[in-house]
Structure 1
Amino acid sequence: MAEKEGGIVKKGHEEGLKMAISILEEFELPLGLLPLAEVIEVGFVRSTGYMWILQKKKVEHNFKMIGKLVSYNTEITVFVEKHRIKKVRGLKAKELMLWPPVSEITLDNPSTGKVHFKSLAGIQKTFPDKAFAAEQYG
């Protein structure tokens, strides 16, 4: 794939997860946005911000603080920039009975403590960034 050209790749759960978290940190995004399980590979192309994550199985995670169920596919691709993740593929959030795909995640800059989610269906939701802190796992 042309998008992956020049990318740094980490294989295996521990190395892949470490890299994904360090990218979230670098771009000032909540560290709990990616509750991954059994990571196969994480890659990142610094020049374009393209990041991909492969995991063995689909993960459904309930963000308890906001009562939101989110589905992470076996392949997730995004473009990362400061305070923003765009062109998201492989991520859906349950909204009533539907699972609209999430297309963009943004943080206010300067921070207001809010994270904004946009779906391809035109749905926009705002949540406290604390709901996506790494400590919310488990």
Structure 2
Amino acid sequence: MTLTIPDDVRAKAEVYVGDEAGQVKTRLLLEETGLPSGLLPLRDIIECGYVEETGFVWLKQKKKVDHYFAKAGRHVTYAAEVSAVAEKGRLKKITGVKAKELLIWVTLHEICVDDPPTGKLTCKAIGGLSRSFPVEAFEADGPPPTAAVDTTTNKDNQPASNGEAAKKDSSNGGTEKAEEEEEEKKEEVAGDAAAIDEIDEKMKEMNKEVVQAEGVTAKN
């Protein structure tokens, strides 16, 4: 699903173009809200926008990112377009972020730290599911990744402005984005099928155990 930013929202926002500026702003925003620095491990950021008045933030990257938080033991995916409303100690109304719970991917809608601080971070999914983890499990291991040198030039063979570079990235990324969305759909279908198969297998095992137990009872 494409994230469309209304003109009136964009007019009020601070907009950062390119991976380097986007990484710096993302880290700064997490620091200002009191959230762990590695919570948004995005790559190849095209655009980052932030409306200070409302806390609304959006991030666009070239393609979906799959990340494994080893200390939390969780796989998390970040879509090519992510948005949220940032508050002190909280990201709410999140879009574009999913976490793997057992065999099923669940959509996260809120991430927050306890107030007063307890060293715990809670992830809340649509449907009421929530899990708590140590805050340190989501801290970044180092500084933001170094951005690649942008060699994009304009029609006069001069270095392109940020706007021109972003426009080119957007046009080139159209096909990649469509392919990425198609791949996400395939992964979701495969994940659901695997979950159903797993549940069916467990039900068969349970039925077998019940039959065996009834046989033993009958003999006795």
Q: TM-score, normalised by structure 1?
A: 0.96
Letter of the 1:7 counterpart: A
Task: Give the match for residue 181 of structure 2.
Answer: none
- Give the alignment partner of residue 91 of structure 1, picking from 93, 97, 104: 97
Please tell me the residue identity of whatever aligns with 1:130. Answer: E
Counterpart selection for 1:132 from 138, 159, 162: 138
Counterpart pick for 2:83 among 77, 87, 97: 77
Q: Which residue identity is paired with 1:35?
A: P
Q: Identity of aligned pairs, percent?
A: 42
The partner residue of 1:122 within 115, 118, 128 is 128
AA in 2 matched with 1:90: G
- RCO higher in 1 or 2 (8 Å CA, sep ≥ 6)? 1
1:105 alignment partner in structure 2? 111
Unaligned segments of structure 2, at least 5 residues: 1-5, 146-220
Counterparts of 2:103 and 2:70, CA distance in 1: 18
Counterparts of residues 59-70 of structure 1 (less than 5 Å): 59-70=65-76
Cα 1:34/1:79, change in 2 over 3 Å: same
SS at match of 2:81: strand
> Cα offset for 1:110?
1.6
C-alpha distance in 1, partners of 2:40/2:107? 15
Matched length: 138
**Structure that is richer in helix per residue:** 2
Contact 1:48 1:79 (C-alpha < 8 Å) held by counterparts:
yes
Of residues 27, 38, 49, the one that matches 2:44 is 38
| SS of equivalent to 1:111 | coil
**Bigger CA radius of gyration:** 2
Q: Secondary structure at the match of 2:103?
A: coil
Separation of aligned partners in 2, 1:37 and 1:101:
20
Note the C-alpha offset of 1:136.
7.6
Cα distance in structure 1, aligned partners of 2:142 and 2:99:
17
Relative to its length, the structure with more strand (as a share) is 1
Unaligned runs of 5+ in 1: none
Task: Tell me if the contact between 1:4 and 1:50 (Cα under 8 Å) persists in the aligned partners.
Answer: no
| Aligned residue in 1 for 2:13 | 7
Aligned mates of 2:53, 2:100 — CA distance in 1:
33
Give the root-mean-square deviation of aligned CA atoms.
Answer: 1.5
Task: Tell me whether 1:54 sits opposite 2:64 in the alignment.
Answer: no
Amino acid at match of 1:66: A
After TM superposition, the runs of 4+ consecutive aligned structure 1 residues lying more than 4 A away are none
What TM-score do you get using the length of structure 2 for normalisation? 0.61
The match for 1:28 among 30, 34, 38 is 34
Report the AA paired with residue 59 of structure 1. Answer: V
